[in-house]
Structure 1
């Protein structure tokens, strides 16, 4: 682990925030006010994350006394020490190859895949005035919100901070509220067709085996 502090790199904060926000934008393509609210909240999470990752390590600063007393062999002001889970569980090699860091890639990649795969299905359904029930929508009713949560959880595994840990449940609750609001509007528009889809397709957590009924658009 490098002993050289690597914070105060505000250009990297801006670059990484802009890059990942733009990357998410190309997957999600927000159009409605509700879309922009969910996307804005996700963007705020990313800015908070990269501010601590490259700008100022607020979490390390606030917990430095406890961390140094519990883990005296770690230089908590080095950049690698920001991978808190690897450090606290005693990972001695490069933290970028640690188990939590590698697992984070699976969540982040899976989240972006869910957002990307759901968008064309939803866009086509909106253009045709039908329900989105194929692709990821055959497994869960809100795959894009699930995708955002997976990405955020992945980043928490990779670089946990007090601010992002506090933001995470708030954003999850916000996405749940948005999903409830969307379902109310969709049910009013599609009636029994949506009720049938809702009975066979879970909201957020997919079943081990997808419902065959959910793969077909309700009549």
Structure 2
């Protein structure tokens, strides 16, 4: 395991320390969230935790959770006690870009219902402004997608349809993803409203005002960030 992978695992362990027996836990998707799922499974096996139930944000996380012994339920209207997930960008106020792994719709549907949403990431994901390093994934319906992309380009001119080899990338929900570039100086809250009001857009990777704290792994160790 590389040093950075070890630190990502340490950040996940710090987040999982907030999980209590009997909690319903939103299980994130991606390389860092994987460590959190494995740690919850380890604590259940060792008896440090009991009665924990997971709600997975992707098919991959559902499979992994079951493999490590976490019972998995479907998302329903009941609140989740806590959700733990990674991020592709973390701004100083803990606004996030998520969805480079393609699970943004299920992640947002799950994490919006969590009483506490905890982010785990490595230091390369910390930015001074949203869109500084990462594209913004926008999940769009397959039907009429070229028309939807035209509407999106009127708002965010730079971007492209995500590909999986020669074919367009498909999400777990059977939708497409348009990866857009956010120019500097954009009001991201206004942008989110504009994108969500665009016909053909299913969801965006802007997770604004949702995270309670973030555990960020760097060569100096794990730092805990809160909105500022």
Give the TM-score of the pair, scaled to structure 1.
0.23
Structure whose CA Rg is larger: 1
More strand by share: 2
More helix by share: 1
Give the TM-score of the pair, scaled to structure 2.
0.23
